[in-house]
A and B are shown apart, each in its own frame.
Chain A
């Protein structure tokens, strides 16, 4: 089961390595992890996507995270309404105006933006859920040659009143 865990933790040196260490130490799987300070600079917010075998494993994982001295709050997002987004940057090689047109069209359909251009290279930016980014990468690779791909990993937030605050 794919699960998204949001963690609010002290923005202190060592905090990230404790979280990452916990996952490897306990043989938990991390699919992606993003972290950045919040509007309150003393706190960081982390989103971890993971794959668990059952609910017991998820619960243990969340308890283990919460046990870390730096961690203030832990919540799971997929079990209720939430928004998740990932940022994709992809650089493609295009030769010929037809290919360029095709890239531009595909970009528009997916609501991506071309953020850099050189003679043969387009760099495209796209946000969305993981499956949309996957589909875009597959489509664009038909029209052009992919030079490199970078994805941010998932950021997530609960819908409505629910909030993870210090």
Chain B
């Protein structure tokens, strides 16, 4: 058998796992692994400027491809810098394997230089973790980590590798395990037959059904089944923020995003539905509004691969544990087999009602002669990219506007931090997507606050020539915070200004990128066209937008789903 050191085993195991890209940052406790990486021609390593960005890159690489993202960092601060990234991936169920160094085993517990209990620190935000105390454990730990990260409800897995375990002088027989099974871990994929039967019956008997589709449908690659089911039964489809793209945004049965900043028609359809069929959506508080007033007349059907997500916030009348793809396929097969249909008359009446809500045109907005509106920027982006770009986003008003005004065609096209809402995610996320898809246009829609949380990655873009477009909706403020302060805090703008936004054009140029400033609406489209034509440069477009614009619709706190502010002056009558 081949003899390898612990450090070599790490790299070989990753290779044997099929890993091509890894994101990281070296340090004392992982120098042996870095030395092994230096000698590998199969794994491409990207050196970031901050470990948080490495995790976001790996995360978005995973979100855009469906593969597992992989990160390598040193002990102590290198590891703790990953925490926000790991939490972000955890909240959105993204499969990652994070390898972190550790002080030698014989120093663990002694407060040695750069010793941090990474297993302990990361415990609440990982799916699982491993600490390797001998080199021989490494291949199995890595195999298990990738398996656990990517199956069931995916999530991040941390592997801690003490320095002595990597020692290049000690060689051990290496073999990468082919298969594994864990007696304590067996995710359920297919749905219970009886439940499938009941689900089909409930669905075809519903008069006011809504298909409520979340990120789980994207993770499970279930878009085909969602579309087929929706079209077969003429069902209205709404997406969560995480589910956008799982159903074509321009499809006539798409009623928009739901929830806090959801459309009037989506939120009203939910509130008035008699059946809500959640496919990989978890009734998050940003969706339900006040749970006590949630959809009073609806029967709840819920497919989720994670049993804990079912009946956690909202009681499910008909729970189905399983993968959204497999379960929907089971339902489609049964519908086919039994030729089940729903009552087209009542469904048409339901659509008449929905179309009345649609006619309200809740996303309409007023343009201005003096200011560029954020909505205009996203609509222009859609036009220039023909709806084909991979769009990553940061967190704030710009994120919501991007979600509302860029109808995504496909799954894995909209990459954002939904569960954690992590500012600073957008730029490294765009980098991860561009590395995965070098030939596709990738744009990061960001805010003046968020972009500065990982702006140092412009340097990484320079090093590896990762040509993406950064589209900054610059309102010179922490817009979303300001909106809340204006609406709920008597307009007191406590620390929501950015008094000193830098000159982003000059800043981009300092990193040898192209910066374009857009102050007038006429300049916007040419700037975007130029940006996407320049295929080998990072282009940073700084668009001065109306700092007073708010995001609407917006649900009214403690209300039901149908209670919304529709503009600064209009709200639904509760």
Q: Which residues of A are at the interface with B, using a C-beta cutoff of 8 A?
A: 9-10, 13-14, 17-18, 21, 25, 56, 59-60, 63-64, 66-67, 69-72, 166
Contacts and interface: CB of A to CB of B under 8 A. Distances in A.
B531 to A, nearest CB: 44
Interface centre among A13, A69, A71 (most CB of B within 10 A): A69
A71 B131 contact: no
Contacts of B131: 13-14
B120 A17 contact: yes
A14 B148 contact: no
A25 B308 contact: no
B118 to A, nearest CB: 12
Q: Which 3 A-B pairs have the closest CB atoms?
A: A69-B128, A72-B184, A63-B308
A38 to B, nearest CB: 14
Contacts of A21: 123-124
Nearest to A14: B119
A166 B183 contact: yes
B16 interface: no
B552 to A, nearest CB: 34
A76 B182 CA distance: 23
Contacts of A64: 308
Contact of B308 (A9, A67, A71): A67
Nearest to B119: A14
B184 A56 contact: no
Interface in B299-315: 306-308, 311-312, 315
Nearest to A18: B123
B148 A60 contact: no
Interface size class of B (residues with CB under 8 A): 10 to 19
12 contacts: A13-B131, A14-B129, A18-B123, A56-B315, A60-B308, A60-B312, A67-B306, A67-B307, A67-B308, A69-B148, A69-B185, A70-B128
Contacts of A70: 128, 184
B127 interface: yes
A166 B84 CA distance: 36
Interface string B183-224: 111000000000000000000000000000000000000000
Given A60-B311, A69-B148, 16 more contacts: A9-B184, A10-B184, A13-B131, A14-B119, A21-B123, A21-B124, A25-B124, A60-B308, A63-B307, A66-B307, A67-B306, A69-B127, A70-B128, A70-B184, A72-B183, A72-B184
Contact of B311 (A10, A14, A59, A71): A59
A60 B314 CA distance: 12
Interface centre among B120, B124, B307, B308 (most CB of A within 10 A): B308
Contact of B123 (A13, A17, A66, A166): A17
Contacts of B307: 63, 66-67
Contacts of A14: 119, 123, 129, 131
A14 B127 CA distance: 13
Nearest to A56: B311
B315 A69 contact: no
B259 to A, nearest CB: 22
A14 B157 CA distance: 14
Interface centre among B120, B127, B184, B315 (most CB of A within 10 A): B184
Interface in B152-196: 182-185
Contacts of A9: 184
B123 A71 contact: no
A40 B423 CA distance: 48
Interface string B92-116: 0000000000000000000000000
Nearest to A61: B308
A71 B119 CA distance: 18
Interface string B118-160: 0110011001110100000000000000001000000000000
Contact of B184 (A13, A25, A63, A69): A69
A10 B183 CA distance: 9
Interface string B38-74: 0000000000000000000000000000000000000
A71 B185 CA distance: 8
Nearest to B133: A13
Contacts of A25: 124
A61 to B, nearest CB: 10
Nearest to B306: A67
A70 B184 CA distance: 6
Contacts of A18: 123
Interface string B466-504: 000000000000000000000000000000000000000
A71 B184 contact: yes
B220 to A, nearest CB: 18
A10 B144 CA distance: 15
